[in-house]
């Protein structure tokens, strides 16, 4: 547990260092940058297909990203809860007093 917390703290540190050392950038996503790099190499290249649907704006996009993270986090939380509970039960049953467990 202690080790995990330390590791999580390290992750937070890794993510915050750039915020401190790299002043004056917006930390934009790669997409625009990738386009620039490609048009530099092949100026005549035209994308031949567009996304079927794009989030109308930054707000909707952040909603969907948050949703994606929430689905992941929700399941991980559920998983942790279930496994810990199951462990508690098996530990209780070991002493041989198989109490009637109501579900």
Partner 1 sequence: MKRTNWKTIYFVILLLFVPKRAMAMHIMEGFLPIEWAIFWWAVTLPFLILGYRSIRSKVRENPETKMMLGLSGAFVFILSALKIPSVTGSSSHPTGVGLGSILFGPLAMSVVGSIVLLFQAVLLAHGGLTTLGANAFSMAVCGPFIAYFVFKGATKLGWSFSFAVFLAAAFGDLGTYVVTSIQLALAFPSEVGGFMASFSKFAGIFALTQIPLAISEGLLTVVVMNFLKKYNLGELKLLRVLSKEAR
CA distance 81 to 79: 5
Residues 17-46 touching partner 1, rule: CB under 8 A, are 17-19, 21-22, 25, 27-35, 37-38, 41-42, 45
Q: CA separation (Å) from 52 to 28, 34, 55, 60, 79? A: 23, 20, 10, 16, 34
Least CB distance to partner 1 at residue 64 (A): 5
Query: Does 92 contact partner 1 by CB under 8 A?
Result: no
* Residue 84 or 93 having the CB closest to partner 1: 84
The tokens for 26 are 């917006």
Query: Does 94 contact partner 1 by CB under 8 A?
Result: no
């Amino acid at each position: 547990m202690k080790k995990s917390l330390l590791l999580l703290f390290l992750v937070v540190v890794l993510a915050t260092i750039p915020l401190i050392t790299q002043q004056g950038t917006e930390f934009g996503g790669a997409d625009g940058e990738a386009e620039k790099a490609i048009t530099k190499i092949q100026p005549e290249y035209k994308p031949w297909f567009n996304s079927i649907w794009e989030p109308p704006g930054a707000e909707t996009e952040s909603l969907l990203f948050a949703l994606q993270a929430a689905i992941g986090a929700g399941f991980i939380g559920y998983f942790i809860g279930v496994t810990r509970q199951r462990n508690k039960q098996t530990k209780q049953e070991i002493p041989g007093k198989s109490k009637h467990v109501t579900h």
